[in-house]
Structures are given as structure tokens and as C-alpha cells.
Amino acid sequence: AFFLAEVLGYTLLIQAIGGLLFRIPSRNFVWLLGIWFLFGLAVLVVSWAFNKVLRGQGLRELGFRCHKSFTADIWLGVYGFAVIDLLSLPFDFVAMPDRASMAHALLAQLHFSSPLQILAGGSVLAMSLGLFTGAFHEEVRFRGYYQGGGTEELTPLSGFIIALVPFSLGHYFAHNQWSSAQVLATIISGIVLGLLYYATGSLIVVITAHTLANWLPFHPFLLGEMTGTRAVTI
């Protein structure tokens, strides 16, 4: 009960900070990414402060440490992404029309005029969005704080569930235009990321896997936009 009250207080504080930041008008994508960067920084600071005050722990206990080495942890994240991608592949195929439409709407706002701009600019944009709008602050929050704190205060299974449920529901309520296939793919990602964090205790691993899961699957849609045909995407 005490830990759930802690999670509630933490969540309300994060939402209040996010509410203030995202009321700032986003003039362009660079401005928007800057706001997301500030939000990620705020999540990191709040997570560290709560952990420090309530448990006497620092960033290392939150997950900012290497399981083996920095390079090895990056590779573990790559392998984790491969598992996520393979397990969610059936749902990705079902959700492909929705994702293609999202990619088209996103790229249309940038007014790219050449295939090279679409591929290079779209790839950089997808990497930036994948890291700052999702992977960094979500992993610090859900895996580092919720799962780490739940494991410390309760049990590893409790921590896993306390992270997985809001991670999955949060994506559903934040993207009410998503199909059920996209939601199921997100649940699979949450399960794999939770298991990775349980096995390694390293945010480097899960942030890498999450960023790649957001970034690399976007490229078939970039090829589709370059050629003007959805067949390339398939």
C-alpha cells in the first residue's frame, strides 16, 4: 500500500510537470524535440530524487550502470530489439496500413523534396523521436523507477507487473487512434523490455532496445514514401 501511494504521488508529479511543458507551443519539430528532451530530463530528476529520499539510492540503482560493459550492453539491447521485432511481427503486418498513414502524415509536414531528403531526414527524425518521445523517459520511468522500486519493495514479479500495466495502458490512452494490433505489439515490447531489465538491471540495455524498436521499423515506410507505392513497404 505504501509503495502504491508512492507510485501515485510520483505519477501525479510527472503528469503535472508534463502538463506545464506541453502547454508550451511547439513551433516546429526541433522545438517539439526540445520539449520532449526537457520532459525526459524532468523524469530523470524526479526519479532520482524520489529514489534518493525514499531509499537512499542513486542513479546506479535506478539502472544507469553497465551489466557487463557499455558496448556489451548496447549489443544486448540490439538482441532485445530483435526478439521484440520477431515476436511482434504478425501484429506489425496487421497494423501496417495505420503506420503507413502515420508516416505519410508526419513526412508531409516536413515538405521534403527529394528521395534522399525523405530517407536521410526521415531516418534522423525517426531516431530522434524514438529516443526522446519514447525510449528514454519511458524506460527511466517504467523500468527504472516502477519496476526497480517494485522489485525492491515487493517482489520481482510485482515490479514487472507494476511497470507493464501502465506502460501498456499509457500507450493505449495516449494513442486512441491505434488499432488493437498496435496495442498488442506494445504489450509484447513491454514484456520483453521488462524481462531484459530484470535480467540485466541496466537502463542502457532497455533504452537501446526501445529506441531501435521505435526507429528501425519506420524505414520501410520511408522507402514507401520515396517510391510512392505501399508495395515497397510490404
CA within 13 Å, CB half, 156: 8
**Ranges 108-112, 171-175, 220-224: which has the least confidence:** 171-175
Q: What is the mean pLDDT of residues 160-168?
A: 93
179 and 98 in contact (C-beta within 8 Å)?
Answer: yes
- pLDDT above 90 (res 184): no
Q: Which value, in Å, is the radius of gyration of the alpha carbons in the chain? A: 18
Cα 201 from Cα 180, distance rounded (Å) = 30
Q: Which amino acid is at 91?
A: F
Q: Does 229 or 50 have the greater pLDDT score?
A: 50
Average pLDDT in the chain: 89
Q: What is the mean pLDDT of residues 68-78?
A: 96
Exposure string for 117-132, b = 16+ CB within 10 A, e = fewer: ebbeebeebbbbbbbb
* Residue 12 grid cell: 501525479
Distances (CA, A) of 159 to 67, 135, 212: 19, 19, 24
Q: What is the pLDDT of residue 232?
A: 56
- pLDDT above 70 (res 233): no
* Residue 126 grid cell: 525517426
Phi, psi (rounded to 5 degrees) for 186 = -70, -40
For the chain, what percent of residues have pLDDT higher than 70? 95
Cα 220 from Cα 234, distance rounded (Å) = 8
Q: What is the pLDDT of residue 183?
A: 81
**Ranges 114-128, 200-214, 219-233: which has the least confidence:** 219-233
